[in-house]
Amino acid sequence: MQVKLDRFKQLIAEITDLGRAEALLGWDQQTYMPRGSGEDRGNVLETVAGLSHRMFTSSEMGDLLAELAPYAESLDPESDDACLIKRTAHDHEKSTKVPTEWVAEFARVTTIGQMAWEEAKAANKFEVFRPHLEKVLAMRQAYANFFKPYDHIYDPLLDDFEPGMKTSEVQAIFNTLRPQQVQLLKEIAAKPVIDDSFLHIPYADQGQWDFGVDVITRFGYDWNRGRQDKAVHPFTTSFGIDDVRITTRFDPERAASALFSTMHEAGHAMYEQGVAKSLRRYPLANGASMAVHESQSRMWENLVGRSRAFWQFFYPKLLQQFPGQLAGVSQEQFYRGINKVEPSLIRVEADEATYNLHIMLRLELEIALLEGSLQVGDLPQVWNQKMGEYLGVVPAKDSEGVLQDVHWSGGMMGYFPTYALGNLVSAQLWEKMQQDIPNLDGQISQGKFDELLGWLRVNIHQHGAKFEPQVLIKRVTGTTIRPEPFMKYLRDKYSEIYNL
């Protein structure tokens, strides 16, 4: 059996390496690749994705998994080998239902589609992106149909990012969450508007960069195993636990954009950097799911980065970096300014009280597109209509509306719900963490994050993708994903800020 286990591990390591190579090509595409190289890059990614899929769905891999299944049952269910065999078996079963030709073509279509999205967004012309999105949608519909019968067409796509979760579960959580968030927004809207005008004046890009680097260095982001670059849409990517890279962007009209995107992406990256070394070169050297991943990024961005304790330490440093822009702005004014609640057009700039509504809107649109009740050509109009219904604001141009997110160009339908689920998980983990580290706020106010990161390393990071997300969350907090801790966090925070 050891010979078969060794061969299985050799194969899965090689397949993982191909995935890392594909990720490296994707990182280059969004950072340094010449803009006119989309077709060539698409061809390369088509080849790599096809090769990887053929290896993974080979009869040899299937035979090895079948022979190793009884062995895995004899092991400690939490051992690396048992978890690796179980996770690989799940992914293999799913992958064998998808033709290699589809995988290769999808890699090419989405690579070219992303270049078209960048062009369309820059030119504010949805029609440039429309035919590419129609191709992506048709391919995602075909992908879902490989898994019939399903409870809902969205289920196979959601499972790609949140293993084991069903569309009905997400909808039930959102249906509980939505009225509570809407009620909170109504109460806040009745209060005086907070002045955040000091955030909407020019701040030098280099100063923002330097400040963000200092912050995430103190968090614990390991620069010997990572780097930061600029991208149209901030993202994190991993080529292994010792090479996890992040990107950020600068918005001349939103001074806090680069800082919070840097903290957000560092949260993702520190998760991947914290995976146990024993999982190197295996598919377990990833996050448990995108909701768990988002819990890490949203935690560092919001629960830490928008807290009063955080700015007790960092505001004097920010003031030193930008004395002109912040002249006459007190620490309390700044804290309230970065936590201002105001429905906005751009998801990544949305405050904590309105953010989830952006996600609920996108889920509704994705389901309608996949079900066929909404056509791609009608998307800009329906997007604007839904923004008015959900948030009371309507985009004046598509670059601030339907073209604002990169995800659909990459075919990532099924991804968006994980952002809101990540918010919920972050609050659950934070609640437990504060029980385990009673003086957490005091540590943050002194710029100390070692114990916070250490807790995450032990309870979340080291396990990588060994456990299904709901299993991991219950293991740490005692329950699966639930909205109550997040709503308590929001209400407590904004009741104090807005005197509700």
As given in the structure block, the two tokens for residue 101 are: 């030709």
8 A C-beta contact, residue 395 and residue 384: yes
7 three-class SS: helix
8 A C-beta contact, residue 414 and residue 158: yes
Catalytic residue among 118, 169, 265, 294: 265
Cα 381 to Cα 402: distance, rounded to the nearest angstrom: 9
Q: Phi, psi at residue 99, to the nearest 5°?
A: -65, 140
Q: How far is CA 190 from the centre of its chain?
A: 32
Cα 264 to Cα 246: distance, rounded to the nearest angstrom: 10
Of the candidates 207, 194, 170, 214, the residue with the CA atom closest to the CA atom of residue 360: 170
Cα 294 to Cα 286: distance, rounded to the nearest angstrom: 13
Instruction: Estimate the crossing angle of helix 417-436 against helix 290-298, to 10 degrees.
Output: 60
Please identify which residue in the block is written with the tokens 């955040």: 196
8 A C-beta contact, residue 275 and residue 238: no
Q: How many CB atoms lie within 10 A of CB 471?
A: 13
Q: Tell me, what amino acid is at 18?
A: L
Q: Tell me, what amino acid is at 319?
A: L
Q: Tell me, what amino acid is at 223?
A: W
As given in the structure block, the two tokens for residue 410 are: 């990459």
As given in the structure block, the two tokens for residue 352 are: 């904590």
Cα 303 to Cα 12: distance, rounded to the nearest angstrom: 37
Question: Does the bond joining 149 to the residue before it have cis omega, within 30 degrees of 0?
Answer: yes
Apex 266 CA angle, 483 and 425, nearest 5: 10
Cα 374 to Cα 49: distance, rounded to the nearest angstrom: 30
Cα 21 to Cα 257: distance, rounded to the nearest angstrom: 30
Strands 244-248, 228-230: pairing kind: parallel
Q: What is the largest CA-CA distance in the chain?
A: 71
8 A C-beta contact, residue 364 and residue 373: no
Residue 265 a catalytic site member: yes
Cα 402 to Cα 218: distance, rounded to the nearest angstrom: 36
Cα 17 to Cα 232: distance, rounded to the nearest angstrom: 26
Catalytic residues: 265
